[in-house]
Structure 1
Amino acid sequence: MNASDRTPADLLRSALAADPARPMVTFYDDATGERVELSVATFANWVAKTANLLQGDLAAEPGDRLALLLPAHWQSAVWLLACSSVGVVAEVQGDPAAADLVVTGPDTLEAARACRGERIALALRPMGGRFPQPPEGFADYAVEVPGQGDRFAPFAPVDPDAPALTVDGVSFTSAQLVARAREDGAALGLGAGSRLLSGRTYDTWDGLSAGLFAPLATGGSVVLCRHLGKLGEDGLAQRVESERVTRSV
């Protein structure tokens, strides 16, 4: 990664320039058996499309607050980087009533209705599938995002010293987030090519760091596991071996 990177979007651009074909996020849902692997290039493409949706169709601007009501999931990681690309503040499990727009999964639709701005719903189905029937009052992410552009350019440069993320009552600017992610990566012994397996949730900084930001900041990748407790010790050992995991948390 480049020392000059000061936003998560910067980190992703550096990863894309260094090795677009390497894995970025490998996602497992051990309640459904789902496995999805995204290379840096594929992940960056999803981020670009989502950022275009956010900036264009949803008219989000730098400083707007987005309540992100999603679990640890590869699509949640995409939204976090899309927010960084636009300059939108991602408020993880934030109050929809106080947010400018909301992004929700299927289990938090009722809470998300409190948002008076734009509402996006994700079915969180395998391979990014859509809802069988779009929830009333929400745009279906899986319907809206495919037609978005594959390249993204912000209307205004993202300020590294502006607010970027709030999680569990703690707020970070982009620069603070990147610095903290680098520190966490170093503490975990991560480096280029590292494979970090995380079963942590996304509702704390430690979960976000292990499940996305620390591997991204250090040139590694993440094996992100939802419902990991269902796997069992033997299954976990097999996953560590098959995914070439170098560190687990």
Structure 2
Amino acid sequence: MNASDRTPADLLRSALAADPARPLVTFYDDATGERVELSVATFANWVAKTANLLQGELSASPGDRLALLLPAHWQTAVWLLACASVGVTAEVGGDPAAADYVVAGPDALEAGRACSGDRIALSLAPLGRRFAETPAGYADYAVEVPGQGDRFAPFVPVDPGAPTLVVDGMELTGVQLVERARTDAAQLGLGPGARLLTDRSYDTWAGVSAGLYAPLAAGGSVVLCRHLDQLGAEGLAKRVESERVTLTLTD
């Protein structure tokens, strides 16, 4: 990645310039059998569409706060980068009542209704399917995002010194996040082409770094697993081999 990268969005732009076709996020849900692989280009396209939804449809602007009530999931990774692209602070597991916006999965819909601003619901179903019936008080992400533009440009340049992420009570600016991600990548021995498999939750820095930021900063990729305990040791070994995993971090 480029030494001049100072925000998560910068890291993604550098990855896109370096090799848009390589895998970036491979997601498994072993409760449903789902597998989704997103190249850098495909992931960046989802980020652009989601950032356009935030900025254009929801009128989000730098300094706004978004409570992200989602598990470790490829769509959560998209939202984290979309928030960073707009300048919105993503608060993982944040208080909806104190947030300007809330993005919630099926298990957090009731809690998310405490937000007085716009609310977006994600079904987290395989293939990004929409809800059979849109939850009351929410817009369905799967309905709203497909029509958004494939390219994104912020109305206001993102300040690298402004808060970009709050996780487990820790607030990080763009610069701090990039520095921590690079440090984590170096400590883990991640480099270009590395494949990190993890099932760590996104509710701690260690989890969200392993599950997104450190591989992105290193020019590597992540195999993000949900409900990995249902796979078993033999199944995990086969996955490590088939996905060409170079490092495994599991809880």
Category of TM-score, reference length = shorter chain? over 0.9
- Normalising by the residue count of structure 2, what TM-score does the alignment of the two structures yield? 0.99
Report the CA distance between 1:164 and its aligned residue.
0.6
Partner of 1:194: 194
Using the TM superposition, give the Cα deviation of residue 220 of structure 1 relative to its aligned residue in structure 2, in angstroms. Answer: 0.2
Counterpart CA distance in 2 for 1:128 and 1:191 is 30
Q: Which amino acid aligns with 1:163?
A: P
Matching of residues 22-171 of structure 1 within 5 Å: 22-171=22-171
Counterpart of 1:109 in 2: which secondary structure? helix
Report what 1:218 is aligned to: 218
What is the alpha-carbon root mean square deviation over aligned residues?
A: 0.4
Deviation (angstroms), 1:182: 0.3
CA drift of 1:136 comes to 0.9
Matching residue's letter, 1:209: S
Per the normalisation by structure 1, the TM-score is: 1.00
In the other structure, the counterpart of 2:21 is 21
Q: Aligned partner of 1:147: which letter?
A: G
- TM-fit CA distance, 1:127: 1.0
Runs of 4+ in structure 1 off by over 4 angstroms are none
Which runs of 5 or more structure 1 residues have no equivalent in the other structure? none
CA distance in 2, matches of 1:160, 1:220: 23
Determine helix, strand or coil for the equivalent of 2:67.
Answer: strand
Query: What is the percentage of aligned positions where both structures have the same residue?
Result: 79
* Distance in 1 separating the partners of 2:51 and 2:25: 18
For residues 191-214 of structure 1, what are the alpha-carbon distances to aligned partners after superposition, in whole Å with 9 as ceiling and x for unaligned? 000000011010000000000000
Aligned partner letter, 2:71: P
Query: What stretches of structure 2 of length at least 5 have no aligned partner?
Result: none
3-state SS of 2:214 partner: helix
For residues 102-161 of structure 1, give each alpha carbon's deviation from its aligned partner in whole angstroms, at most 9, with x where no partner exists. 000011000000000000000001111100000011000000000000000000000000
SS at match of 1:178: helix
Q: Distance in 2 between matches of 1:197 and 1:158?
A: 31
Number of matched pairs: 249
| Offset from partner CA, 1:66-119 (integer Å, 9 cap, x none) | 000000000000000000000000000000000000000011000000000000
